[in-house]
């Protein structure tokens, strides 16, 4: 059975999130490694709570990924933000390892007017710096494709592959967001299986997580706006094709749909399960 899960808060502790996941029908989950909208003021890692959560994950057959703060920008031309971003991601990998999670998702950066080639090269320097400082062994950096709004890089397959290519697949993988890909013009309406990445060996080797989201934005609208499963511009039929694609059966699916309360993810997961098979 394919793994389908959702994003959960760890405000009450990592172990608590682990316990909630199966109550929602989730077989995997994502969490923010720290405050998603800041660098400073992060809670100190509770290693006892982390260890308890790891033990429970094994008992419940769950897997998880962390998501880095939104403020991280690995393509920025600003030196202070560049340094903060590198150091924050290094810390996120340590946090993820303590919690037994296999990867940390980080968005492709924004070049802030310096051009896409600059942005990709800047990301190379940032990832190299992170890996040089990294002390973990079992946590991958998972680069997430973007919708292409503003000065984002990583909204085409070529750009995404160019970002990850210099690095060992065991260290740098890919998290594929369906809404971002639809908004960027990569996933065509009615033809998701034709996405070239699903036919590309390098992409498939590195693909370790899928953010399964419908879209509030029409095809190629270049904006990051998620919608509930089957209620957006992508629709249930398109998402059903993705969920049932045999090439993706071993990749966990993580919902980031706009629920008012994470308990509502139970209905979203049921909606996904009803599309499988």
Active site (annotated) includes residue 247: no
Catalytic residue among 3, 206, 211, 225: 211
DSSP structural state of residue 175? E
Residue 219: name the closest of 180, 185, 179 by CA: 185
Active site (annotated) includes residue 111: no
Residue 164: name the closest of 197, 198, 120, 208 by CA: 120
Active site (annotated) includes residue 188: no
Active site (annotated) includes residue 23: no
Catalytic residue among 3, 7, 107, 225: 107
Active site (annotated) includes residue 87: no
Ordered DSSP codes for 26-47: -SEEEEESS-TT-SSSPPPP-H
Size of the chain in residues? 277
213 in Cβ contact with 256 (< 8 Å):
yes
Catalytic residue among 15, 92, 144, 268: 144
Catalytic residue among 226, 233, 254, 268: 226
Cα first-last separation, the chain: 10
Tokens of 88: 């924050």
Residue 252 Cα distances to 57, 87, 157, angstroms: 15, 28, 20
DSSP structural state of residue 218? P
139 in Cβ contact with 103 (< 8 Å):
yes
Catalytic residue among 177, 214, 233, 268: 177
Active site (annotated) includes residue 144: yes
Question: Which position has the token pair 């890692």?
Answer: 45
Active site (annotated) includes residue 180: yes
Active site (annotated) includes residue 79: no
Active site (annotated) includes residue 226: yes
Catalytic residue among 49, 92, 152, 256: 256
Q: Given its phi and psi angles, is residue 150 left (phi above 0), alpha (psi -120 to 50 degrees) or beta?
A: left
DSSP structural state of residue 190? T
Catalytic residue among 3, 111, 180, 225: 180
- What backbone phi and psi angles, to 5 degrees, belong to 253? -105, 130
Active site (annotated) includes residue 37: yes
Catalytic residue among 224, 225, 233, 254: 224
Active site (annotated) includes residue 211: yes
Residues classed as catalytic? 37, 67, 70, 107, 144, 177, 180, 211, 224, 226, 256
């Amino acid at each position: 059975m394919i793994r389908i899960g959702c994003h959960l808060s760890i405000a009450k502790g990592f172990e608590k999130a682990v316990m909630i996941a199966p109550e929602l029908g989730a077989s995997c989950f994502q969490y923010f490694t720290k405050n998603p909208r800041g660098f400073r003021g992060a809670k100190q890692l509770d290693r006892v709570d982390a260890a308890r959560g790891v033990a429970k994950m094994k008992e419940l057959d769950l897997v998880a990924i962390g998501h880095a703060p939104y403020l991280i920008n690995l393509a920025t031309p600003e030196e202070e933000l560049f340094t903060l971003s590198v150091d924050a991601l290094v810390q996120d990998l340590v946090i993820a390892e303590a919690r037994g999670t296999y990867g940390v998702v980080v968005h492709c950066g924004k070049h802030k007017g310096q051009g896409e080639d600059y942005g990709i090269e800047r990301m190379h320097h940032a990832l190299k710096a992170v890996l040089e400082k990294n002390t973990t062994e079992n946590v991958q950096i998972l680069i997430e494709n973007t919708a292409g709004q503003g000065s984002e890089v990583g909204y085409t397959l070529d750009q995404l592959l160019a970002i990850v290519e210099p690095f060992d697949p065991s260290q740098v993988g890919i998290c594929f967001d369906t809404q971002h890909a639809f908004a960027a013009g990569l996933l065509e309406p009615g033809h998701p299986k034709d996405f070239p990445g699903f036919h590309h060996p390098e992409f498939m080797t590195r693909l370790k997580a899928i953010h399964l989201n419908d879209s509030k934005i029409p095809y190629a609208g270049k904006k990051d706006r998620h919608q509930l499963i089957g209620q957006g511009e992508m629709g249930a039929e398109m998402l059903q094709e993705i969920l049932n694609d045999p090439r993706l059966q071993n990749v966990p699916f993580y919902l980031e749909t706009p629920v008012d309360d994470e308990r509502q993810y139970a209905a979203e997961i049921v909606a996904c399960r009803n599309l499988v098979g």
